[in-house]
Amino acid sequence: MAPSPAPRSSNRLTFAVLATGAGVFSMMQSLVAPALPTVQHALHTSQATSTWVMTAYLLSASIFTPILGRVGDLVGKKRTMVAALVALTVGCLLAALAPSITVLIVARVVQGIGGALFPLSFGIIRDEFPGHRVSPSISNLSAVIAAGGGVGMVAAGPIVGALDYRWLFWLPAAVVAVTALIAHRYVPESPTRGTGRVNWLGSVLLSGWLVALLLPISQATSWGWASIKVVGLLAAAVVLFAAWVLSEARSASPLIDLRVMRLPAVWTTNTAALLFGAGMYAVWSFLPGFAQTPSSAGYGFGASVTGAGLLMLPMLVAMFLAGVLSGRLDPVVGAKALLTTGATLGAVACAMLAAWHTEQWQVALAAGVFGLGIGLAFASMANLIVQNVPAAQTGAATGMNANIRTIGGSIGAAVMSSLVTGHLQASGLPYASGYTHGFTLLAALCLAAALAALLVPAARRAGGPRVPAAHGTTAGADEQVGLEQPMSR
């Protein structure tokens, strides 16, 4: 029999720890981006080299998120989470002290280990919280994760302006170090464990195809889409992916149970995550640049880094509020409806940006609408995955969902970059049409995400159809989910 849920006060402390760790990691994804020109100048490097500060973080997080999610399922989520927090702290300290761009890139690789905080946090909530609190808590945590990316965009300018770019790492290091100590002392170790071992061959192959896929996509603008490096790596990604699928299918203890990934509610949610992630990350990456473009280009507002961040403030506020609200709406309308609505709002916002962007209030309004979409979609995606996979697969499954969203984001940002920078004015600035076409494409991707969300199966009540469990057994929907609520609506 599973231990009784921790007391309510303990749940609150546990949630505070999870939210702090995951929120800081999310913030680190976007906090550095506005400061890249400053970093480039301070460390005497080129623009092409400085972009590796972002690329290294992306690749590292993509590799470690699903692998450590699975490790947490096997050896303990609390233990693995503390290790991830320590790695994030060490990475921040190393980045703050980095004397060269090479050391800073290595530091960002170490920071990427913290990506495991997402699936581990969702797993701890599922294992430790009372059933009726799981969905609202996941929604609230998703709101914090989504808002963290917004905080990074808004806070970067003031921090660099008032202090120095190194404080972009000093401040998170202090917060995460304290969080790790509190987690070690007060967060309970989850009783739910998976069986088997880590499939290291699967881990190597997963790492290989993720790097071979994400690296050329993130560098395609500078390398050229038709270059040998891009084409060769994409071909290698296909081969490694096929080898990984074969390895996982034959393994008695797969890293990612492909039977779980084939569950209708899981693959449809992951498809929506891929498409919506493309729109979300592209908007995050290019809307600040649009605002900072001098008005002499025929568009843009000539905003500073801080001013562009403030223009994104409506998105930040809307993301958090919508994420928290979704936890209250989930029992009423269901996660499927929330995901569909969130993706639709994303499509509306991108269409607004494509059609109306001559005034700052128009961009701020569109950003707010997009923030509502992100808040609803983030929370509902996490809930749909958690509600539809076996408890022992929570970490690996939610980690893979986060990865799929990141892959979509990389593709969306790369395609948007090609559209925006494909044709430049004599001044070197992009034409307005590049942004218009880009935002139109993002609207189509978000709309496709909404259509994918409509394919998510309706809820199965207790005693419903039996589905494959993690290791070849079957379980009723109520046994597999382990929650008091229906799996989805």
Asked if pLDDT for residue 477 goes beyond 80, the answer is no
Tell me how far CA of residue 209 lies from CA of 202, 254, 316, 443, in angstroms. 11, 16, 33, 28
pLDDT at 364: 93
Q: How confident is the model at residue 443 (pLDDT cuts 50, 70, 90)?
A: very high
Q: Where are the beta strands (DSSP E) in 60-148?
A: none
pLDDT at 95: 95
Q: What is the mean pLDDT of residues 246-268?
A: 86
Asked if pLDDT for residue 7 goes beyond 60, the answer is no
Asked if pLDDT for residue 113 goes beyond 90, the answer is yes
Query: 97, 107, 105: which is closest to 40 by C-alpha?
Result: 105
Q: Residues of CATH 1.20.1250.20 domain(s) within the chain?
A: 8-198+253-481
pLDDT digits (tens, 9 = 90+) for 30-42: 888 778 778 888 8
Looking at residue 220, its amino acid is A
pLDDT at 81: 93
Averaged pLDDT of the chain: 84
Residue 179 near residue 55 (C-beta atoms within 8 A): no
| CATH architecture classification, 8-198+253-481 | Up-down Bundle (1.20)
Asked if pLDDT for residue 75 goes beyond 90, the answer is no
Q: How confident is the model at residue 464 (pLDDT cuts 50, 70, 90)?
A: very low
Q: What is the mean pLDDT of residues 348-357?
A: 94
Q: How confident is the model at residue 20 (pLDDT cuts 50, 70, 90)?
A: very high
Q: Quick one: 8 exposed, middle or buried, by C-beta within 10 A (0-12, 13-18, 19+)? A: exposed
Asked if pLDDT for residue 22 goes beyond 50, the answer is yes
pLDDT at 271: 95
pLDDT digits (tens, 9 = 90+) for 234-256: 999 999 999 999 998 888 778 77
